[in-house]
Structures are given as structure tokens and as C-alpha cells.
Amino acid sequence: MKRIIMMFIRNFFRLPQMLIGLIKYSKNVDKYSDEEIYAHLRWIVSNANRGGNVEIVKSGMENIPKEDGFIFYPNHQGMYDVLALLDACDRPFSVVSKKEVQNVPLLKNVFVCMRALFIDREDIKQSLQVILDVIKQVKAGRNFVIFAEGTRSRKGNETLEFKGGSFKAATKTKCPIVPVALIDSFMPFDTGSIKTVKVQIHILPPMYYDEYKDMKTTEIAKEVRDRINKTIAEYSAN
């Protein structure tokens, strides 16, 4: 909370422009292009990071597929994860998020601007419909972020088990699966410190359909998690 307050204070003169734009876009998301909305979101995040002493260290941007219609699969550390990805990736993407985010002030506006799909993990029918919606949109060329752990780890840079069902949208669309290793992404919002923190984002080489077409979703989940864990082990001590 201290860091969030600092972000607001240090961007005091930009706040009106930030908030007015955020509210305008979230209330009329269909009236504006994804590129226009996304540019405003990235501008907000960039300024918030500077004001909040958050440095984004990114690598592997060349691994982002050239054609749209792919899915990022990052490890999940906290509420800052999506904002970190917004800063790192210059290509618009949507996100599948738990329904509770709809109750978080401002963050819910960000997710609406991203055309996020909200999932009720206790409603199997609704969860299935979200998967079907992701499949439809990825086929149409929209990019997504799906957190295969299902919930944030709360163990720092340790990952939870990746759920095979999270990869059904990818296997049904035959789209590129892009593993993303997040390191120290929990630190900006989930610690009480306001000291400068470095959040690392490593975009790993994508798995294309030819590589995973003969694998079960549980096998894909394990492979993606293994690649992410290997990267975390390599870079988290640096």
C-alpha cells in the first residue's frame, strides 16, 4: 500500500489525465481501438513504475510471435504481474482473471480496458464458457495472458503446479504457447517496502503447435512450468 500511495503522490499532476482517460476508455471500450487504449495503459504503468521505484528488467522480447493470436503463460506472483507485462509488451493482449478483480478500484478499469474475461472458479459452466470465449477470440487474432497456476503462489519466486486445463484454449486453437518467467513481481505490491525493486520479465521461446500437438495438456503444463522454473533458478540470484 505504501508503494501505491507513493505512485499516486509522485504522479500528482498527471493523475487527472491518467484517471480521466482510464475511466473514458473503460466506459466506452468498444468505441476505441485496442492500440489507442493500450498506449494509454502503458503510459500509466510506465509513470507509475517511475513514481513507485519499480524497475522493469526484460529479456526475450524477440520471442514474442510476429503474428497475433498467441497466449502468454506466466507464473503468477501477485496483482502486479499484469502491470509488469503491460510495461514489457508493446502488443495489446487480454487476460483471463478471477472475478474478484472486478471489485478492486482502478484495477478493474484497467482490466475492462484490456477486454479481460473474468472467471468464476466455483462455477464450472461459467468457467467453460470463458474457455470457449478465449478460443474464439484467439482464433480471431487476439492475444491473451493465462495464469496456469490458477492463483498466485504467495511463495515468492516458487511456482505452484500448472493446471493442464489452462492449456485447452491453446490446444484447441493450435496457437503459439509463450512461457513467461516473472521474477520478484510480488515485491511492488505484496511487501511493505518502498525501496527500489527490480522486476524481471523473461519471454521464453514459444512452443508452436508442431511441438506440442502430440502432448497431453498435463504434459504441456509440466513442460511450460519446467522452462519457467529453469529461468527463475538461473536469474533470481542475480
**Sequential pLDDT tens for the chain (238 residues):** 788 899 999 999 999 999 999 999 999 999 999 999 999 999 999 999 999 999 999 999 999 999 999 999 999 998 899 999 999 999 999 999 988 888 888 888 999 999 999 998 788 899 899 999 999 999 999 999 999 998 888 888 999 999 999 999 999 999 999 999 999 999 998 887 889 999 999 999 999 999 999 999 999 999 999 999 999 999 986 5
Distance CA 112, CA 192 (A): 28
Which residues share a beta bridge with 119? 98
Q: What is the structure's pLDDT at 120? A: 87
- Nearest Cα neighbor of 84 from 203, 204, 208 is 203
User: Does residue 231 sit in helix, strand or coil?
Assistant: helix
Segment holding 124, helix H or strand E: helix 124-139
Query: What is the DSSP code (8-state) at residue 181?
Result: E
User: Does residue 202 sit in helix, strand or coil?
Assistant: strand
Amino acid present at 215 = M
- Nearest Cα neighbor of 202 from 42, 72, 35, 39 is 72
Cell readout for 52 is 513507485
What is the secondary structure of 28-65 as a DSSP string?
A: SGGGS-HHHHHHHHHHHHHHHHHHTTEEEEEE-GGGS-
End-to-end, the C-alpha distance of the chain in Å comes to 26
Cell readout for 104 is 478492486
Residue 94 backbone zone (phi > 0: left; psi -120 to 50: alpha; other: beta)? beta
Chain centre to alpha carbon of residue 22 = 18
Distance CA 167, CA 99 (A): 20
Integer CA distances (angstroms), 214 to 65, 75, 208, 211, 223, in order:
21, 24, 12, 8, 13
Residue 73 and residue 177 in contact, taking contact as beta carbons nearer than 8 Å: yes
